[in-house]
Amino acid sequence: MTNVAEKVKQINNLNDLFEVLFTTIENDSLEVDQILSQHLTAYGVFESEEKALSYLHELDEHLNQIDKDFFSLREAKRNGYSRSQWLMKELEHSFENVPDRKNEIIEAMKKGLSGSNNSLFYSLFHENEVISNQLNDYNFEGLNKSAVIKDFLKDIQDNTVLHTLLLSQQENKGENNETNGNKTLQDFFTQGLEGSSDRLVKKVTTSGLLIAKKKAWIPSLEGKTDDELALLADKAVNMVKVAYKVAKGEINPMDAVDHLIDKTTAAVCTTVKRTCELGGAKIGKAVGTYIGSLLGPAGSIVVGQIGENLGTLAGNQVGHFISSGIEKISTKTKEIVRDTYETVKSKASQAWSKVKSWFN
The Cα–Cα gap between 253 and 240 comes to 13
The Cα–Cα gap between 67 and 261 comes to 14
Residues 209/59, Cβ–Cβ less than 8 Å: no
**Rounded mean pLDDT of the chain?**
87
pLDDT tens digit sequence for 196-217: 999 999 999 999 999 999 999 9
Residues 200/183, Cβ–Cβ less than 8 Å: no
Residue 276 has pLDDT above 90, yes or no: no
- In this prediction, residue 169 has a pLDDT band, given cuts at 50, 70 and 90, of confident
- In this prediction, residue 175 has a pLDDT band, given cuts at 50, 70 and 90, of low
* 7-11, 199-203, 231-235, 238-242: the lowest-pLDDT one: 7-11
180: β partners: 315
Would you state the pLDDT for residue 360? Answer: 45
pTM, entire model: 0.89
Question: Residues 50-78: what's their mean pLDDT?
Answer: 96
Residues 188/289, Cβ–Cβ less than 8 Å: no
Phi, psi (5° rounding) for residue 334? Answer: -60, -30
Question: Residues 76-89: what's their mean pLDDT?
Answer: 97
CA 227 to chain centroid, in Å, comes to 12
Residues in contact with 341: Cβ distance below 8 Å, sequence separation at least 6, in sequence order: 131, 352, 355, 356
Question: Residues 27-54: what's their mean pLDDT?
Answer: 94
Residue 334 has pLDDT above 80, yes or no: no
SS (H, E, C) 261-321: HHHHHHHHHHHHHHHHHHCCCCHHHHHHHHHHHHHCHHHHHHHHHHHHHHHHHHECCHHHH
- Select the more confidently predicted residue: 316 or 74: 74
- In this prediction, residue 359 has a pLDDT band, given cuts at 50, 70 and 90, of very low
Residue 25 has pLDDT above 90, yes or no: yes
Would you state the pLDDT for residue 168? Answer: 85
- Select the more confidently predicted residue: 342 or 263: 263
pLDDT tens digit sequence for 246-273: 999 999 999 999 999 999 999 999 999 9
- In this prediction, residue 354 has a pLDDT band, given cuts at 50, 70 and 90, of low
* 157-161, 263-267, 354-358: the lowest-pLDDT one: 354-358
Q: What is the DSSP letter of 135?
A: P
